[in-house]
Amino acid sequence: MKYISSKSNSVYKNISKILFKNNKRKASNSFIVEGKKNINLCYDFDFKFIEIIICSEIISDDNINYINNNYKNIIIYDFSPSLYQELIYKKKGDGLLALVKSKDNSLESFKISKNPYILVAESPEKPGNIGALLRTADAAGLDGLIIANPKTELYNPNAIRSSLGSIFTMQIATASSDEIIRFLKKNNIKIFSTFVENSKNYLNINYTQACAIIVGKESSSLSESWLLESDELISIPMKGKMDSLNLSVSAAIVIFEGLKQRNDN
């Protein structure tokens, strides 16, 4: 185990760039995981580990034993407290980080169940919204989340934190809107797109069949492809002055109505 205390060290510089630079993360096809809980989830859901980083002056004996027992074939580096503090959120941590390989997020790798129930988000702009959508999808037991025309890098640290681990437990795919529409139609999955105008009350839709709920970014509506290809346009009636809800809230309202119907069926 090599002890590293200098910012000029190549290992530290590589980890720092992957953590803080989206283009480096994307190019390396890897991301940083913080803390034993998330490292455990990555392990349990078959992510590939590249390196483990510990801070021997912070980490507990139990966590040292955990790493030594479970990651025997992974390179482990020991960072000084000052370097470790540069890499963790709000300067709090348990002395554990990991460099992990990104999964294949193609549509071809997305597996659907016998009666699929899928969430599709078009062009979510905020990493926090991606995390919140993943938490909703996980809570409802959906097949997964498909992101159309992504505007932010999937394994952004803010997306990981806001997902509370569901980014590791859920199936995720990314593709263009047109590719996703073709995928859904090929698999006979109904397309129910949230849209304010000329739409049906979301309560008057049958979600017990194979279907996908489509939500758009908060700043604008869904693209024309979804409006033309949807089986139904749906909306949530609102009594206030505003005509929009937070993206994850809107998705949750519709998704859990569908879950209720499926459970009652």
Query: What domains lie within the chain, and their CATH numbers?
Result: 2-101 (3.30.1330.30), 107-264 (3.40.1280.10)
Confidence of residue 197 (pLDDT cuts 50, 70, 90): confident
Predicted TM-score (pTM) above 0.85: yes
pLDDT, tens digit, 9 for 90 and up, residues 109-140: 999 999 999 999 999 988 999 999 999 999 99
Tally of helices (H runs) and strands (E runs) in the chain:
11, 12
Closest CA to 145 of 163, 157, 164, 126: 163
Asked if pLDDT for residue 219 goes beyond 60, the answer is no
Asked if pLDDT for residue 262 goes beyond 90, the answer is yes
Cα three-residue angle 224-229-231, rounded to 5 degrees? 125
pLDDT at 218: 63
What are the contacts of 16-23 at 24+ separation with CB within 8 A?
Answer: 16/86, 16/87, 18/99, 19/87, 19/157, 22/152, 22/153, 22/156
Asked if pLDDT for residue 91 goes beyond 90, the answer is no
pLDDT at 135: 96
Residue 209 in tokens: 């069949």
Residue 77 in tokens: 């580096």
Confidence of residue 244 (pLDDT cuts 50, 70, 90): low
Tokens 């049906």 — which residue?
A: 200
Average pLDDT, the chain: 93
